Amino acid sequence: MEVEIVSRVTIKPSSPTPHNLNIHKLSFLDQISYIKYSPAIYFYPSSGKTTPNVQSKRLYLLKESLSKTLTKYYPFAGRFRDEHSIDCSDQGAEFVEAQINCSLSDVLEQPPHSEEFQKLLPIEVESTSASSSFLLAIQVSFFQCGGMAIATKVASPSVPKPTSAEAITALLWKCAITAARSIRSVSTSIGNRAINLRKILSPNLPDSATGSFLAYVATHINIGELDLQTLVCQLRNVMQEYKRKEGESLLGYKDVEIEGEGDDVHFFSCSSLVGIPTFDADFGWGKPIWWTFVRLMLPNTAFIMSRREGDELEVFVWLSEEEMAIFERNKELLAFATLNPSILDSGMNKDSKL
């Protein structure tokens, strides 16, 4: 796959940011987070209809909507001023147009972890420019078939009715522990999950609040307690206790990093994005057929995501090569999961045309 960059422009907010909002102070959670880009790509099939100037019309619509959106979420049009704040002087977000020399189906036939997806990003995955350059970058790529991709770079007793996220997290965690124990000595494992603080703080934060409103909740498990029922119970109890405290322990993630440094301590992070309306990103030509993160390079990490249709869920897991080889052969995992399913099967329907 070859990518031709047609243009790079800077999109600024449609209305200037008021002077009293020119400095956006970062929350404590933002200040202790790593400054790096979080890449995601949305894929849209061709409508199958021949429409004059369809690419130019879509580009105009996307640029206009981005400009209006930046007025509401003005920090994303700014630049980091220092480690504590953002200069919101409407510097703008980067918008890249690209042409691809193949069809969308050629790309989606690649495995989800293929490095080909990185070519669709506006900035390299491992770029460190986030601290000094654009806070938001978008690349719109058009395929020869008429399809397109939009890439952006900017968590004991029986358990009554465990949620799908709880059950899958417990299964993934158990299989990850088993893989780690096959290679080294492990006495304790720490399971880390992201939680959305918007809904548990009192009063609740609005959905439009800007910043990293995520906290990390750690669950400790002794290896001798390694059964799914116990894991699910522990996960639920710890989460409920955290919610009762309404996020008082904001230093939890830092504590987990310190406690997880021992040679016999295993660390695993699993975040659920189930329920987040990622497939509602409809700009007028239909919803995306698939979306994905691109090589986040986070060891011992998993993300649980909804698929476009049906009740099945999609999971991305990052482990060391040695542990992954063992993880993928786990019979308990294989009883519930299909490894590396075809992207085309998960995202397409019979009427879709690439």
Peptide bond into 203 cis (omega under 30): yes
- The whole-number average pLDDT for the span 96-112 is 84
* Better-predicted residue by pLDDT, 161 or 197: 197
* Architecture (CATH level 2) of domain 3-155: 2-Layer Sandwich (3.30)
Judged by DSSP in three states, 228 sits in: helix
What are the structure tokens assigned to 185, written together?
Answer: 């000595």
The residue with tokens 């047609």 is 6
**Domain boundary assignment for the chain:** 3-155, 164-335
What are the structure tokens assigned to 305, written together?
Answer: 């995501």
pLDDT, averaged across the chain: 77
Compute the distance between CA of residue 354 and CA of residue 350 in angstroms, rounded to an integer. 11
Provide CATH code, domain 164-335: 3.30.559.10
> Within 10 A of 235 (CB to CB), how many other CB atoms are there?
25
Instruction: State the pLDDT at residue 229.
Output: 73
Instruction: State the pLDDT at residue 67.
Output: 95
Least confident span in 26-35, 69-78, 90-99, 119-128: 26-35
b/e map 56-86, b = 16+ CB within 10 Å: eebbeebbeebbebbeebbbbbbbbbeeebb
Q: Is the separation of the CB atoms in 212 and 29 below 8 Å? A: yes
Domains 3-155 and 164-335 equal at CATH topology level? yes
What is the CA 228 to chain-centroid distance, rounded?
Answer: 26
Q: Which of 244, 235, 243 is CA-nearest to residue 272?
A: 235
Instruction: State the pLDDT at residue 351.
Output: 37
Condensed to tens digits (0 to 9), the pLDDT of residues 260-310 reads: 556 688 888 888 877 777 777 788 888 887 777 766 667 888 888 877 766
Residues in the chain: 354
